């Protein structure tokens, strides 16, 4: 560099300084673009996550709406928490409707070991009447509009024209919301 003329030296130094400035600017812009890309990527991922969450939420809402009728039908097949008296009255009215005299012998509601389990209402009853009426009552009891299980049926002749059926059945009962929480 000692043999270079003064002007050439100045131009060379200017070119070197300009190159360093351009490279510095290029590096600064590169880092700025990289940071912007990372931020864009993060925001895109967040948007995609929220869109998926919104779709899932909408899907659940649609499912709840689509199953409303089926859930209502299912809920109607269980006795309500305070529905024992109504259920017993229903059994008596069914008996009266088919021509038998229904006598409720016992009602028991055992406490389930699992507090979140459905409760059961165990009913022992008998119905007295003519054969045809007793059989009709038994058929109706087997097809009650509730979730029931007939555990025991005993048919016996009461007198020359009268029959008795002793029935033990269990109906499932919904718990109140404060018990199942």
What's the pLDDT at 1?
53
Write phi, then psi, for 173 (nearest 5 degrees).
Answer: -130, 135
Q: What are the residue boundaries of the structural domains of the chain, listed by start?
A: 1-66, 78-180
What is the C-alpha to C-alpha distance for residues 137 and 102, in angstroms, rounded to an integer?
10
CATH 3.30.70.60 matches 78-180: yes
pLDDT tens sequence across 141-170: 988 888 888 999 999 998 888 999 999 999
Contacts of 119 (CB under 8 A, 6+ apart): 109, 111, 112, 172, 173, 174, 175
The runs of H, that is alpha helices, within 5-114 are 6-66, 68-76, 84-98
Q: Is 30 a residue whose pLDDT tops 90?
A: yes
Q: Which tokens in the block code for residue 170?
A: 């269990």
For the chain, give percent helix, strand, coil, nearest 5.
55, 25, 20
The pTM (predicted TM-score) of the whole model is 0.58
pLDDT tens sequence across 65-84: 888 888 777 777 677 766 78
pLDDT tens sequence across 31-48: 999 999 999 999 999 999
Of 34 and 114, the one with more pLDDT: 34
């Amino acid at each position: 560099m000692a043999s270079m003329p003064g002007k050439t030296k100045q131009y060379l130094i200017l070119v070197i300084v300009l190159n360093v400035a351009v490279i510095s600017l290029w590096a600064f812009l590169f880092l700025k673009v990289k940071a912007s890309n990372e931020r864009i990527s993060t925001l895109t991922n967040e948007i995609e996550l929220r869109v998926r969450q919104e779709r899932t939420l909408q899907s659940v809402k649609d499912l709840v709406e689509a199953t409303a009728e089926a859930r209502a039908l299912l809920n109607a097949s269980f006795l309500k928490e305070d529905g024992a008296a109504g259920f017993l009255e229903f059994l008596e009215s069914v008996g009266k409707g088919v021509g038998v005299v229904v006598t409720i012998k016992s009602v028991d509601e055992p406490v389930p070991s699992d507090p979140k389990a459905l409760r059961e209402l165990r009913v022992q009853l008998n119905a007295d009447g003519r054969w045809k009426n007793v059989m009709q009552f038994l058929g109706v009891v087997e097809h009650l509009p509730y979730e029931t299980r007939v555990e025991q049926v005993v048919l016996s002749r009461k007198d020359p024209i009268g029959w008795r059926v002793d029935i033990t059945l269990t109906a499932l009962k919904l718990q109140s919301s404060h018990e199942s929480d």
